[in-house]
Amino acid sequence: MSTPDYGESPWRAAWIRFRRDPVAVGFLALFMAYFGVAVLAQLVELWDGAPFLYELNLSDMGMDVPETATAPELSHPLRWLGTTSAGKSVILRVFHGTKVAFVVGSCGAGLSVIIGLTLGLVGGWFGRTIDEIIVYIYSTVASVPYLLLMLALAFVVRQGPIAAYYRSFAFSEFVSLGLFNIVVVIGLTSWVTLCRLIRAEVKKVRELEYVHAARALGLSDTRILFKHVLPNVFHLVIINFSLTFVTAIKSEVILTFLGVGVDREPSWGQMISDARSELMQGVWWPLAASGIALFVLTLSVNYVGDALRDALDPRLK
């Protein structure tokens, strides 16, 4: 990627390389299907309003279902994955969990990428004192034990000034504080790797002839950064986004299990941590449903991420 190819768009070339692997394309399709479910879940909720479908007991919907856990059965789509101990449809909760996973994954990874990319670009491009400061910041953040950083931040976000700030936003209607919390925690703890990579790459790009040339032509720094440098490091961003996406939805499970994650709506993490007491009763389907949903999504993102890396980085063949 270090030498720009002006003959053919590098993205197009990458896409052609990516397409060669049918499994990767399959997983990409699967990922899109998940995305569709997430969007659909959000749309239904927007359109239907509170109380949301996932909150209702099936008996409230006029179905003859006891208000206890019932095993999966085929009689009605809402019972395909069974019901929870409160008699609510597991399938609806899994669907809502998909939406939560996408919010957590894309916002968390997005925030992390924004921080990492900005600092990396700025540090790598401007060098000197600014760079020193940025290197100092990330070495310090990386040195704080991860468990402490994650948990302490989770508590801070929950009730500190950040939570108050969150409430003033319009989106607080759609994104619960628990979700927002995870997004911020993920964003603030996982940007270091990308920042390091980008900074190193930008330093290299900076010394390339065409960048020197662009400078000589009197182009502004911002213009050079966005027009010439950014495209050269963008593959790192994409790969890192996919990695952080996975980390984020897996961290959601852990944080929710620890009680500092999603709390007002169903999420996969919640279903998995509830299984702690459900399993002993032989109620395995909420765990199975959420666990498999999580597994397939992470698997497809992991695989697509790998395939993308191979496609974008011709050295690795």
Nearer to other proteins, 208 or 299 (CB): 299
Which residues 89-118 are close enough to bind other proteins by CB under 8 A? none
Find the part of the chain contacting other proteins (CB under 8 A) among 3-11, 109-117, 222-230, 250-258: 250-258
Q: How far is the CB of 218 from other proteins (least distance, A)?
A: 35
Q: How far is the CB of 51 from other proteins (least distance, A)?
A: 6
229 lies in the site for other proteins, by CB under 8 A: no
Site string for other proteins, 146-185 (x = CB under 8 A): xxxx-xxx-xx-xxxx-x---x---------xx-------
Q: How far is the CB of 301 from other proteins (least distance, A)?
A: 8
313 lies in the site for other proteins, by CB under 8 A: no
Nearest Cα to Cα of residue 232 among 256, 210, 262, 258? 210
Point out which residues bind other proteins (CB under 8 A). Answer: 50-51, 55, 67-69, 85-86, 136-137, 139-149, 151-153, 155-156, 158-161, 163, 167, 177-178, 246, 250, 253-254, 257-260, 263-264, 270, 272-282, 287, 291, 294-296, 298-299, 302-303, 306, 316
